[in-house]
Every structure is written in structure tokens, then in C-alpha cells.
Amino acid sequence: MQRRSFSPGLLVCLFVPCFLFGQQHFQATLKGRVVEADSLNNGIVNVLVQIKNEESKEVAFAYTDDKGYYLINVKSYKNPPTKPFIISTEANEYESFTMKGLVLHSGENEDLDKIRLKKLGAGGEFTRVIAGYQQSGASASNREGRFFYDLYISVPFKIPFVRPWGVDEDFGPALRAWGYARITSVPQQIKSSVREFAGNFGKEITDVKVNEIAQAAEFLWGFEHRLSKFGSLRASFDGKTQQNFSLSFVLGFGAITPLEPRETLQIFRTSADTERLYPQAKGKDFIAFVSPDRNRFFRQYYLGFRLETRYFDANGNPLNRFPAMLDFTFGQNEAVTKGCLCGSIFRFEGFYPLAWENLKFIYLFGTAHLKFNKSEIQEPLILQPAPTDTPIPAVNAAIVTIPQINRDYYRIGVGIDFFALRGLWK
């Protein structure tokens, strides 16, 4: 007589049903509809609706159909929950929704009221990545042309446990955090015409040598709080878009890297004036001016107001376009006040994206730092440049350390969206 071996699988098949039926089985159904808050008849498609048990942490979910309806089957083989459920939603372009205290009973169907979601306005994240050319200089000093690379980010800022302040359909939350970083190249000697430079801009900026890309850097970050907006949408001058304006309080903190002293070196032949003003140049053939060494960045901070323009299409929908900005701020900047926080300045900065659709990737900008104190007028010191191969240091050359500038300063230029710039590289 053949003996049959006992199969462990048979034991599992007998044990699992007994275990499951021995537990209290919980099952319920939740259904409803997700609609737009401004139009209750418009269902929102592809919204993730989740229901979570506060006690067991189990989650069930479903996505809305093309009319905004959803159906969630809530099942559990654990004991029936003693705590209520939490229902929440996630959807692109719409605000999230959360409701606590939902009580479900086993075997019942729960039909919720409509979940109303408000569509997000133009108040999400703004980012610009641009490359361009700028001209800058201080009052009554040499102007310099440089290529630059700029990154700017602005995002809504939420304080924990505090409700957002002043959420607006066009501008979003009133409180935002922002920051930008700018890298400038060594001075560029561009002698071509404006037409030639514009036509060859992509080639010009990519021909910059790697070791000349980043001579100096600047960063600034801070917060802005919208104080008001100016009514409803208004037509733009291009006739195809609309715009709206806002006024915000803004504050920012940051720093600027000082130049390496050798990069600022300027060499001239001595004269009677140099020997009179700089005794160390007496008996020397050349005099070299150089900026001082510094072990700290130049600090800067500002506070004031920001006027901002947001752009919309003909139907009032926000366009994927960086806003125009104009800042009127007051503060201090060591880079333009002798290297110390010892003078106050006005700072005006404007950034403007061209409104025409086929030119929207081109940006114009300008910055001005204006000091408060009275102007100082002095006789200029005119010197003859030294030969380009003049060695420094040398026995016949005097080296004079000149202080950081204490003058008004300006910067103007044009930039191109970095991703649009790729098309000019070819």
C-alpha cells in the first residue's frame, strides 16, 4: 500500500481562509465628484482622490474620470477602524483639498458632496535662465563690456502653521521667496557693429574661453509680499496679450565677489603729478595701480518696493513668461561705498521681457546704484599708458593700492533665454 506524503501547500490553503474569515472584515464604498470651484458643472479629469485611515495608515485611492467622478473601494482585513478617515486630492493646476473626520461604516456606500477645487492662477514658480551682454561702469570711470549668465527663481513661500496671506487668482500667494545668481566674464573688447554683433551673438558668447567665463559673481536672495494689485486685466500694447500689475514690499540680502588684485592692475608712465600725489613713485619710471586684497565678499542688502507685470492670453489664462519687474529699493552695498557699509544708496533695477510673441525670449535690463551724499568734483589725473610688456613688480615701478570705488554705478544690457540661445549656436 502506497503512503501519501502530507503537502505543506494543503496546510496553507486550509489555514489562510480560516484566518481571514476569523478576522472582522471591513469594506465600504466612497464615491463622489470633483468639480471646478468657479463652475460647478465642470468636472475635473485625472484628479487623484485618496482616503487614509488615521489608525492603520492604510490608503485607498482612485482617479476621476472624464466627467470628474470617482469610486473608491475601501477594504481591510484588520479590525474595523475606531478613528475617522482623511480624504485628500492632488491635481495639476488646482489647489489641493483635505478633509478630516470622515466616518465610514462597513458595508455602506458613502456619497460625498462635490469636492470643489480652485484653479491655480499665475502664482506658481517663476524661473529665468539667461545669457547676455552687459555694459557697466562707475561715474566718471571706464566702462566695461562683459558677457554674463543669470539664474533667477521666485517661488511662493509658506510659513508653517500659518495660512497663506492674500491668495489672488492672477498672482497667487502674496508672500514669495526669490533669489538670483549672476556670473560675469572678463571684459570683452567687441568692436563690431550692432548689426554684426546681434547676428553673431550665439557665436560670440560661445567663443569665450573657459578660463574667462567667470571673473566675478553676485548673488541676492530675499522675500517679497504683495501689497496690492491694480484692478483687472488690461490689454498689452502688442494687441494679442493681456497684463496685470502689482506692488510689493521687497527685501534682499547678498554679496559680490571682489576681483583678484592682479586682474585690476593698470600700469602708467610716471609724471610730475604722480610724484606729487604719490611720493613712492619719485624716481620711478612706472606706476602701477591695483585694488586691495580682501578676504570677505562685498556685502549688500536692500528694502523697498517692486512693481511687477504678469502676462496673460486673450482668455485670461497665465502665459509661461517671466514677469517684468521694476525695483525701487534703499540699502547699502560695499562694492560701491569704499568696501564698507558706510554709506546708503538708492538702487533701481528693471527687467523687461519683450512682449511680442516672436521676440519673447529677449530680455532688457538695467541697474543703477545712486549715493545720497553730495557730489565731489576733482581734477582728473591723466597719465600715459606704459608699454604692454612692462613687468610688474620691478625696481623701476611703484605699486599703489587704490581704495574700492565710492561712486554711482550703472549696468545695462540685453539677455536671451538660455534654451532659446541653443538655436543660435548652430
pLDDT tens readout for residues 255-267: 999 988 888 899 9
To the nearest 10°, report the CA torsion of 391, 393, 394, 397. 100
CA nearest 85: which of 54, 42, 40? 54
For the ranges 88-92, 190-194, 321-325, 349-353, the lowest mean pLDDT is seen at 190-194
For cell 539667461, the residue is 130
Q: Is the pLDDT of residue 142 over 50?
A: yes
Provide the pLDDT for residue 367.
96
**Regarding predicted confidence, which is higher, 334 or 91?**
334
Q: What is the DSSP string of 106-145?
A: TT-EEEPPPEEEPBP-S-S-EEEEEEEEEEEEETTS--EE
Q: For residues 409 and 336, is the Cβ–Cβ distance under 8 A?
A: yes
For the ranges 170-174, 261-265, 303-307, the lowest mean pLDDT is seen at 170-174
Cell of 356: 511680442
For the chain, give every domain's residue range: 8-117, 126-424
Q: Is the pLDDT of residue 175 over 80?
A: yes
pLDDT digits (tens, 9 = 90+) for 93-104: 677 788 888 887
Q: For residues 400 and 288, is the Cβ–Cβ distance under 8 A?
A: yes
- Length of the chain as a residue count: 426
pLDDT tier at 305, thresholds 50, 70, 90: very high
59 CB-near residues (< 8 Å, 6+ apart): 50, 51, 52, 53
Mean pLDDT of 391-418: 91
> What is residue 374's DSSP assignment?
P
Which CATH architecture best describes the domain 8-117? Answer: Sandwich (2.60)
Provide the pLDDT for residue 2.
46
Mean pLDDT of 83-89: 84
Q: Is the pLDDT of residue 121 over 60?
A: no
Query: How far is CA 195 from each of CA 200, 208, 378, 400, 416, rounded to the nearest angstrom?
Result: 9, 20, 38, 41, 16
> Cβ atoms within 10 A of the Cβ of 15, count?
10
Rounded to whole angstroms, the Cα distance separating 338 from 348 reads 20
- Distance, C-alpha 36 to centroid of its chain: 30
Q: Is the pLDDT of residue 399 over 60?
A: yes
Cell of 99: 478633509
pLDDT digits (tens, 9 = 90+) for 32-43: 899 987 777 788
Provide the pLDDT for residue 227.
92
pLDDT tier at 178, thresholds 50, 70, 90: very high
Q: Which amino acid appears at position 286 of this protein?
A: F
Q: Is the pLDDT of residue 163 over 90?
A: no
Provide the pLDDT for residue 306.
97
Q: Is the pLDDT of residue 113 over 60?
A: yes
pLDDT tier at 379, thresholds 50, 70, 90: confident
350 CB-near residues (< 8 Å, 6+ apart): 324, 325, 326, 327, 364, 365, 366, 367
Provide the pLDDT for residue 301.
97
Q: For residues 215 and 184, is the Cβ–Cβ distance under 8 A?
A: yes
